[in-house]
Structure 1
Amino acid sequence: MGYLPNERLHHLKQYSYKGIDKSILSKYILNPFWTWFVTLWPTSVAPNTITLSGLCMVVINFLTLLYYDPNYLTEKGGVQIPQWIYFTWGIGLFLYQSFDAIDGKQARRTGMAGPLGEMFDHGCDALNTTLEAMLTAQALNLGRSWWTFASQAATLANFYLTTWEEYHTGYLYLGVFSGPVEGILIIVGIYIVTALLGPSIWDTPILDFLHLSHIPLISSTIPNIGLNVSFMVFGAFMMAFNILNSYANVRVAMREAGKSTIKPLLFLFPFLFSAGVQLAWIGHPKFFDAAGNEFTILESSLFVPFMCAWGLSFAHQVGKMILAHLTKGPFPVWDWVFLASVVGAVDMNLPRICGIPPIIQSTPRTTFLYVYATLLISFIAYARFCTLVINDITNFMGIACFTVRKKDEEGVWRGTEEVKANGEGMKKVV
């Protein structure tokens, strides 16, 4: 038995991609480049192979982070990453963006356009969201901090919001300033600056950097925060803008369909709940290890696996949402994969809730085991979800995932050009 029931699979036949791109940068500069870039790929390469190749570059970037700074101490914690590494992060992210942009063009070139491509594309984007949040915070010298946690929360919120918007409107909107276009290029710029000047440059107070700190009126009204924190504040304003813009699009779509404009807002609660659970867990009361040192997940080497576990759980959450959009299914309100995080958050906050110590995570060692168990559960759950969904869609649609092949009317796997030629031949005979 597959993951999807037959009645939902049949909605895949009605799929058609609908997107609105208002980005000037995308339209006049990047799209001409992408149109040329896709011609470098032979039509024997499947679109999903291109998408996965782009994600692999980001994964390699993340592995270099783990190699040089496994405990995520950053430069302010005394870890020096060779500055040329940041160049590779910028190149890898730019190529990821380019590969992500041309997979749809390659799908049309090869006759492989369809719902599987959108599902696969969103899945890779969901994983990239967490990886880039961690890489960017490292390049900005934020390290293990609430700013890094907030950065990932905001990034995931934007991605959730985009998917929520597409579910209710049927369109993928890219505004005048969007994460996949302008947002990625800004991060590429951050990597380049870090490669040239080092991560500590981002700790420079913004007024000192702009040579405005000597002006009393400005210095007394504007906080002289670091450039890295200023970037976080800028991101918060952009997130607020995207929230309002997304809801405006959903509101219009709901009115035109004669549906409630308030009900879609209730479907933002699943993300708020999941993010709140992570906040409660990582914000647990401090306790002491065997040596008498204070211990928290936020300030320990568990910070990276904790954030990765959250990212994988999030990818599972939005994966179910985009699948519901493609198959006309109900909005996925609850996702069981967050249960481990709920247990972890409640357990760690037992001192606040009822004045008793944690039962499961009573020591740094047991906390270590539980966080990594959550990471493993999240990974297995998402891998299982992807495998089952890909199998269901490929079997039902008669298409391959990583090769340019389709099943003909007799159920034989053939290249798309061969299937097309055979189909035209049959029409002539008839």
Structure 2
Amino acid sequence: MAYIPSHALAGLRNYKYKGVDKSLISNYVLNPFWNWFVTLWPEWVAPNMITLSGLAFVLINFATLSFYDPTYLTARGGATSPPNWVYFTWAAGLFLYQTFDAIDGKQARRTGMAGPLGEMFDHGCDALNTTLGVILACYALNLGRSWWTFASQVATLANFYLTTWEEYHTGQLYLGIFSGPVEGILMIVIIFIITGFTGPALWDQKILSLTRLENVEWIASRVPNLAINVCFMLFAGVGLAFNIITSYTNVFKARRTSQKYVVKPLLYLLPFPASVLVQVAWLNQPSLRNSDIINSPAFVPFLCAWGLQFAHVVGRMIIAHVTSQPFPVWDPMYIWSIIGAIDANMPFLFDRPPLIQHSPERTERFVYVVLVVAFVTYARFVMLVVSDITDYLGIACLTVRKRDANGVWKSAVGMRMRPTEKRGLLD
């Protein structure tokens, strides 16, 4: 399929990134550090290479989980936690990911390589990090294979979908006082650090018992004594509700200013909850109680397959935004999940056993098939889109090069903006 039709390529030259960041931590603490850190990079380093290097830190984090606790990914039953020092490496890796993700745009402006390709590349890596980050964070919180981990995936992907949906309808990326890319990541970094000192078992303790507030009758009689990790999940739910209200408020204002329908954008939110319902239906297998996906080694591959499907969805949303195309409502990647959901619920729908997933082993194999298909499809999407954008704009993806008027490749550093255009590059 053509992700960018020929008639939409012209929109790439008209695209200009717009962003608003109201985070106090970002503006007064991290941004000065980022402005200094980007100056350490030579101008011949491509911004997309910085983005890709940042994602590599998260992949290394995931690889250490696979190395120290392979049973979590490959076997049934309980898992053994990795050494506590590993969580410190996860904290460092995630913080470096955040730092690299923050400076790639600054490097793009330094080298004159800012444009739609950078936004697509940046958001694509963010989408992949979202799922891997959920798996690692929930593992550190000792949630393991559970519906809480699934709920965390839902909340995290929903926030990402909301941000992309909002950017499509407002024309700018909006980060509020508390946002996932800044405060959310820092919160997970702190969780990793605490887990490194105490181990994951800390998060199973009851919050009122740990704080000894259960001895205060007024509090104990009104506040449920929930586990700390459950409290984090509830906090994520409150944050999601707040982001829904904030995102729609921004879209409402933008649409009303441009005298467009203010209700129609809400319809474009429906594909995400519909996809969540499909995943829930697939996880909830009537014929395999206590042996279904959520209790098997297929759970992490299931989350990864869903994450790749989601990355494909938001990738198409970003392409639609930068090329001024219609909002993509349907994505064919979800066909495989729909097949899995219908097949898993054959006993409920048609009073007959599943055709594919009639045993735990067959279910696991099918999940891995969906994971492979999702990976190949998303990889193809990235290659085709990168090829279309670089060919049309005459730029390279992972090197600082541009084609001049004669079609000759030259360093973009020597072709970048005039000095008067460099003011405020790091802002």
- TM-score over 0.5 for the pair: yes
Give the alignment of 1:213-292 within 5 angstroms. Answer: 213-287=214-288
Partner of 2:424: none
Secondary structure at the residue paired with 1:360? coil
SS of equivalent to 2:414: helix
Letter in 1 for 2:161: Y
Taking structure 2 as the reference length, what is the TM-score of the superposition? Answer: 0.95
Q: Does 1:383 align with 2:384?
A: no
User: Is the contact between residue 43 and residue 413 of structure 2 (CA under 8 Å) also seen in structure 1?
Assistant: no
- Whether the aligned pair in 2 keeps the contact of 1:348 and 1:358 (CA below 8 Å) is yes
CA positional deviation for 1:214: 1.1
Deviations 1:59-87 (A, max 9, x none): 1101111122234389x935121110000
Check whether the contact 1:83–1:194 (CA below 8 A) recurs between aligned residues. Answer: yes
Matched, 1:295 2:291: yes
Change (3 A) 1:334 1:395: same
Instruction: State how far apart, in whole Å, the 2-side matches of 1:78 and 1:377 are.
Output: 28
**Conserved? CA contact 2:287–2:344, under 8 Å:** no
SS in 2 for 1:200: helix
Once the two structures are TM-superposed, the CA of residue 302 in structure 1 deviates from its matched residue by 0.6
Task: Measure, in 2, the Cα distance between the counterparts of 1:359 and 1:347.
Answer: 6
1:272 deviates by 0.9
TM-fit CA distance, 1:2: 5.7
* Cα contact 1:71–1:304 (8 A) shared by 2: no
Q: Is the 8 A contact 1:407 1:419 kept in 2?
A: no
1:421 CA drift (Å) = 9.5
Find out whether 1:22 has 2:22 as its counterpart: yes
Deviation string for 1:144-199 (max 9, x for gaps)?
A: 10000000110000000000000000010000000000000000000000000000
The runs of 5 or more residues in structure 2 that have no matched partner are 419-427
In 2, the alpha carbon distance for the partners of 1:389 and 1:284 equals 37
Inter-partner Cα distance in structure 2 for 1:2 and 1:413: 26
Query: What TM-score comes out, normalization by structure 1 length?
Result: 0.94
Does 1:358 pair with 2:354? Answer: yes
Q: What does residue 6 of structure 2 align with?
A: 6
Distance 2:242 2:288 in 1: 39
Which ranges in structure 1 are unaligned for 5 or more consecutive residues? 289-293, 423-430
Map of 1:416 onto structure 2 = 412
Q: Is 1:96 aligned to 2:97, yes or no?
A: yes
Which residue number in structure 2 is paired with residue 373 of structure 1? 369
Once the two structures are TM-superposed, the CA of residue 263 in structure 1 deviates from its matched residue by 0.6
Alpha-carbon shift at residue 217 of structure 1 (Å): 2.1
Aligned-partner Cα distance in 2 for 1:230–1:167: 32
Q: What is the Cα deviation at residue 416 of structure 1?
A: 1.1
Q: Aligned equivalents of 2:239 and 2:360: distance in 1?
A: 37
Deviation at 1:365, TM superposition (A): 2.0
Q: Aligned residue for 2:312?
A: 316
Shift of 1:287: 2.4
Aligned to 1:177: 178
Q: Does the 8 Å contact 1:141/1:199 carry over to 2?
A: yes
Q: How many residues align?
A: 416
Q: Report how far residue 418 of structure 1 moved.
A: 3.2
The equivalent residue for 2:37 is 37
Q: Residue deviations 1:203-232, cap 9 Å, x none?
A: 110101221011222112111111100011
Task: Give the secondary-structure state (helix, strand or coil) at the position aligned to 2:238.
Answer: helix
> Do the aligned residues in 1 keep the contact of 2:113 with 2:400 (CA within 8 Å)?
yes
Task: State the partner residue of 2:119.
Answer: 118
Which amino acid is 1:172 matched to? L
- 1:417 CA drift (Å): 3.1
Judging changes above 3 Å, is the alpha-carbon distance between structure 1 residues 364 and 142 closer, same or farther for their aligned structure 2 residues?
Answer: same
Find the counterpart in structure 1 of residue 61 from structure 2.
Answer: 61
3-state DSSP class of the match of 1:387? helix
Give the match's secondary structure for 1:50: helix
Say which SS state the counterpart of residue 410 (structure 2) adopts.
Answer: strand
Pair 1:208–1:286, CA change in 2 (3 A) = farther
Which letter maps to 1:383?
A
RMSD, aligned CA: 1.6
